[in-house]
């Protein structure tokens, strides 16, 4: 979704929403003031012969680092997987594909504008590589409704069994695999466990995220028996998995310098896009959107886990776009 489609709550809309569905939403602004006083220094006269004239000493203040305004720049600053790549034909092949199909990343980037700031925040909290913020582009093109032949669902493409293992509830009305926040935290839990399982090797962890830890472990054991290297690049893995990691690394390189590949990434504000609003009763999201004057499609894209567009079987809150203030 492009930035020009974003809509904000007005005061009237917030009032209507509160009256219609009894949602509680408060905001507290905290300000701080500081004062300083400068005292007068008493002059001291000193008679020294001969008089020495001292040169002034200039102390250069270090400029404060400013947070990036664009979330893409924030992601670039958090890359951790690029240093040891070198020239790799498998990565170059995938990079050529992205350069030949710029619309893929542009479309996925626009879709990501609702979710990517939340994902980056969670990754930074765990000190994980920010290349992983691009993984939903590989998995689902940042479409929370994506569904695969293997019955994988959501931004992170959880299959039913793995979703249940990570407490993503799946009922007739609600699918936690499509819940933006629940699935993101489950995916990062899973990736962290795989990272630990494979001794801190992110490439093996990513391969296992795609093919399963059993597939990667068996490939490592095979190479060990044959006296072959056991790094990701030398493992006999399924073709999809052989392409999976190079695809993410190639996409990261394109995001690093999109103009070099003819890709136009629309800026995404480096600020939260949505917030939780408490709900008490079963709600029709279409009705909520109409009363609050929110774009119905946008509201549903923030709450895709409610399969019938009714707040049934899910958490006691829904996600709504944050109001934008001119500070």
- Write phi, then psi, for 167 (nearest 5 degrees): 65, 35
Gyration radius of the chain's alpha carbons: 26
Listed residue (248, 151, 152) closest to 206, CA to CA: 248
Tell me the C-alpha distance between 248 and 312, whole Å: 36
From 139, 221, 240, 275, active-site residue: 139
- Residue that has been written with the tokens 């993984």 in this structure: 135
Q: Is 124 a catalytic residue?
A: no
DSSP assignment string, 193-243: HHHHHTTT-HHHHHHHHHH-HHHHHHHHHHHHHTT---SGGGS---HHHHH
Q: Are residues 286 and 169 in contact, defined by beta-carbon separation less than 8 angstroms?
A: no
In the block, residue with structure tokens 């801190």: 200
CA angle, corner 237, sides to 235 and 243, nearest 5? 105
With vertex at residue 149, the alpha carbon angle to CA 157 and CA 190, rounded to the nearest 5 degrees, is 25
SS3 278: strand
Tokens of 108: 């996925």
Q: Are 283 and 310 in contact (CB under 8 A)?
A: yes
Tell me how crowded residue 104 is: count the other CB atoms within 10 A of its CB: 15
Please state the φ and ψ torsions of residue 320, each to the nearest 5 degrees: -130, 150
Question: How far apart (Å, rounded) are the C-alpha atoms in residues 35 and 28?
Answer: 23
By annotation, the residues acting in catalysis are 139
């Amino acid at each position: 979704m492009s930035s020009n489609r974003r809509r904000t709550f007005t005061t009237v809309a917030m009032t209507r929403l509160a009256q219609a569905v009894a949602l509680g939403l408060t905001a507290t602004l905290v300000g701080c003031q500081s004062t300083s006083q400068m005292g007068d220094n008493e002059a001291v006269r000193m008679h020294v012969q001969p008089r020495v004239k001292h040169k002034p000493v200039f102390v250069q203040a270090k400029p404060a680092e400013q947070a990036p305004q664009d979330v893409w720049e924030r992601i670039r600053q958090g890359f951790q997987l690029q240093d040891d790549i070198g020239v790799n034909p498998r990565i170059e092949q995938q990079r050529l594909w992205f350069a030949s199909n710029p619309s893929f990343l542009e479309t996925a980037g626009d879709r990501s504008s609702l979710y990517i700031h939340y994902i980056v925040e969670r990754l930074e909290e765990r000190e994980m590589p920010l290349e992983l913020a691009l993984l939903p582009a590989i998995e689902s093109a940042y479409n929370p409704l994506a569904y695969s032949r293997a019955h994988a669902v959501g931004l992170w493409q959880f299959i039913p069994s793995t979703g249940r293992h990570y407490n993503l509830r799946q009922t007739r009305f609600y699918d936690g695999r499509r819940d933006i926040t629940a699935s993101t935290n489950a995916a990062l839990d899973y990736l962290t466990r795989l990272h630990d399982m494979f001794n801190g090797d992110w490439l093996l962890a990513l391969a296992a995220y795609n093919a399963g830890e059993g597939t990667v472990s068996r490939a490592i054991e095979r190479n060990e028996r044959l006296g072959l290297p056991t790094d990701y690049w030398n493992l006999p893995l399924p073709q999809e998995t052989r392409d999976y990691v190079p695809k993410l690394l190639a996409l990261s390189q394109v995001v690093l310098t999109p103009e070099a590949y003819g890709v136009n990434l629309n800026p995404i504000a480096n600020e939260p896009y949505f917030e939780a609003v408490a709900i008490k009763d079963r709600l029709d999201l279409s009705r909520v959107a109409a009363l609050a004057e929110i774009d119905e499609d946008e509201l549903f894209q923030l709450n895709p886990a409610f399969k019938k567009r009714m707040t049934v079987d899910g958490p006691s809150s829904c996600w709504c776009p944050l109001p934008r203030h001119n500070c």
